[in-house]
């Protein structure tokens, strides 16, 4: 049923474009709007087929998951506000919307996300909601995220509107309402459940078990990064993550930099942990935490904290404690030069965290910027939990072992 709904959504999308008669400069001159949307739908299905071809294992350094890193335990941080907000959101939906939004807690829907705009998404989008439903959806985000995380997420949505403005007001492909919610499982204080927000440059996967939370994979990015004009002029994101990353590499000694900097040349996109890369094999590279001074270690922790602090404060503190436990085995790697105006990539990688920051080549703004060169106006960041606990999968596995469920 849900597959039919997605196909119908793609068809309606194509019809909408055809009716509006898009003559956009950003569109391929060789394609009609209907052909373009048909291509979108096919690319979505192709991505899913390839991405889900292998069972979930998780990010590893050598193809083998390190066991016993994550345990079911009480954090002492209540998830009741998130559960109540999820109940309120679901109660606000119509029966038809709810049927599109609800999945089982172990459904592959968790893994069906993509940071690119063309992806045909599941669930109920802001574009399908009335004002009361939008308020409830934002309420769910507010309960789960910090004020900083909520603002970042909403600013990304605003900048997707700006991208539409910069593409001759193309609000069929872009726009602040093209973000979709799904809920996996039934919101509960004991049983596992969670929710996902999926859209262009913004993905949040939020798994809950008791008072434990796993908020990965998460993706925050945009093109453009700053709105210089238009409805949301002045909106700006990821400047601190950019500047503090640069400060981190420049805080290293010359000998340390030789280890941390993998290449001083940055000519392409570097991120390896984006959509449908759940099982990527990525060895540790760069400089190890044990080789840093105490001050440098704290600087690295602070840099990681910029990403983790998008969660609510209580669960962010729990995650940061987990990161600190593996600090000596946390690696910092860099690609690119280190001047203020340089483009670069960096990652923070340990058994329990993978964070990537990447200046990307133009995509939606290829008509305004050199498509061959990464720039500061297109940034992707990704946060993952390696060794099998993205989407809370390892906690879910342990829960099923302790409490067998009927399918």
Q: DSSP labels for 125-159?
A: EGGG--HHHHHHHHHHHHHHB-HHHHHHHHHHHHH
For residue 28, CA distances in Å to 24, 37, 146, 366 come to 9, 12, 40, 12
Residue 47 — φ and ψ, nearest 5°?
-65, -45
Joined together, the tokens standing for residue 179 give 């973000």
* Whole-number Å distance between alpha carbons of 213 and 203: 16
**In a domain? residue 363:** yes
Structural domain range at position 249: 239-392
pLDDT 10s digits, 157-192:
999 999 999 999 999 889 999 999 999 999 999 999
Give the distance between the most distant pair of CA atoms in the chain: 62
Spatial CA neighbour of 157 closest among 198, 194, 212, 205: 198
**In a domain? residue 45:** no
Joined together, the tokens standing for residue 405 give 């469920």
Lowest mean pLDDT among 28-32, 113-117, 156-160: 28-32
Confidence of residue 43 (pLDDT cuts 50, 70, 90): confident
**In a domain? residue 351:** yes
pLDDT higher than 90, residue 363: yes
Joined together, the tokens standing for residue 157 give 């949505």
**In a domain? residue 251:** yes
pLDDT higher than 70, residue 11: no
What pLDDT is stored for residue 316 in this prediction? 98
pTM: 0.92
For residue 310, CA distances in Å to 179, 282, 305 come to 18, 25, 9
Joined together, the tokens standing for residue 135 give 């308020």
Confidence of residue 404 (pLDDT cuts 50, 70, 90): confident
What pLDDT is stored for residue 308 in this prediction? 98
Q: Are strands 202-209 and 193-199 parallel, antiparallel or unpaired?
A: antiparallel
* Whole-number Å distance between alpha carbons of 230 and 112: 32
Q: Cα 166 to the chain's mean position, in Å? A: 23
Confidence of residue 20 (pLDDT cuts 50, 70, 90): very low
**In a domain? residue 294:** yes
* Whole-number Å distance between alpha carbons of 286 and 288: 7
What pLDDT is stored for residue 18 in this prediction? 38
**In a domain? residue 358:** yes
pLDDT 10s digits, 60-115:
999 999 999 999 999 999 999 999 999 999 999 999 999 999 999 999 999 999 99
pLDDT higher than 90, residue 271: yes
Number of domains in the chain: 1
Q: What is the mean pLDDT of residues 201-218?
A: 98
**In a domain? residue 84:** no
Query: Tokens 């993905």 label which residue?
Result: 203
**204 contacts 218 by C-beta, under 8 angstroms:** yes
Q: What is the mean pLDDT of residues 285-305?
A: 98
Report H helices in 121-238: 131-144, 147-165
Question: How many CA atoms lie within 13 Å of 156's alpha carbon, on the beta-carbon side?
Answer: 27
Q: N- to C-terminal Cα distance for the chain? A: 19
| Torsion sign (Cα): 24, 25, 27, 30 | positive
* Whole-number Å distance between alpha carbons of 82 and 189: 10
**In a domain? residue 76:** no
């Amino acid at each position: 049923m849900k597959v039919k709904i997605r196909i119908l959504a793609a068809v309606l999308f194509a019809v909408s474009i055809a009716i509006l008669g898009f003559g956009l400069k950003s569109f391929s001159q060789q394609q009609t709007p209907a052909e373009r949307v048909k291509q979108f739908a096919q690319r979505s299905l192709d991505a899913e087929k390839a991405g889900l071809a292998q069972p979930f294992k998780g990010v590893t350094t050598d193809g083998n998951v390190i066991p016993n890193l994550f345990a079911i335990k009480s954090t002492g941080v209540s998830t009741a506000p998130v559960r109540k907000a999820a109940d309120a959101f679901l109660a606000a939906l119509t029966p038809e919307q709810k049927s599109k939004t609800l999945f089982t807690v172990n459904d592959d829907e968790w893994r069906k996300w993509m940071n690119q705009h063309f992806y045909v998404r599941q669930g109920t989008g802001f574009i399908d909601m009335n004002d009361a439903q939008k308020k409830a959806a934002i309420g769910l985000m507010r309960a789960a995220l910090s004020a900083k995380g909520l603002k970042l997420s909403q600013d990304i949505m605003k900048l997707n509107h700006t991208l539409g403005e910069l593409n001759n007001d193309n609000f069929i492909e872009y726009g602040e309402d093209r973000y979709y919610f799904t809920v996996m499982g039934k919101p509960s204080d004991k049983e596992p459940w969670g929710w996902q927000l999926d859209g262009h440059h913004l993905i949040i996967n939020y798994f809950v078990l008791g008072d434990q939370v796993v908020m990965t994979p998460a993706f925050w990015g945009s093109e453009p990064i700053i709105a210089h004009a238009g409805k949301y002029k002045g909106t700006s994101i990821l400047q601190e993550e950019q500047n503090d990353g640069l400060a981190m590499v420049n805080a290293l000694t010359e000998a340390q930099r030789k280890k941390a900097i993998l290449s001083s040349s940055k000519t392409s996109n570097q991120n390896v942990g984006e959509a449908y890369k759940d099982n990527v094999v990525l060895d540790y590279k760069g400089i190890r935490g044990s080789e840093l001074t105490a001050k440098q270690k704290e600087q690295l922790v602070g840099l990681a904290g910029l990403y983790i602090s998008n969660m609510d404060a209580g669960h962010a503190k729990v995650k940061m404690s987990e990161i600190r436990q593996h600090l000596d085995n946390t690696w910092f790697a860099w690609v690119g030069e280190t001047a203020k105006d340089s483009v670069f990539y960096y990652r923070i990688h340990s058994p329990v965290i993978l964070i990537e920051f990447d200046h990307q080549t133009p995509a939606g703004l290829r008509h305004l910027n050199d498509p061959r060169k990464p720039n500061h106006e297109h940034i992707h960041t990704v946060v993952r939990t390696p060794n099998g606990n993205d989407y809370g999968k390892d906690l879910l596995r342990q829960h099923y072992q302790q409490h067998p469920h009927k399918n």
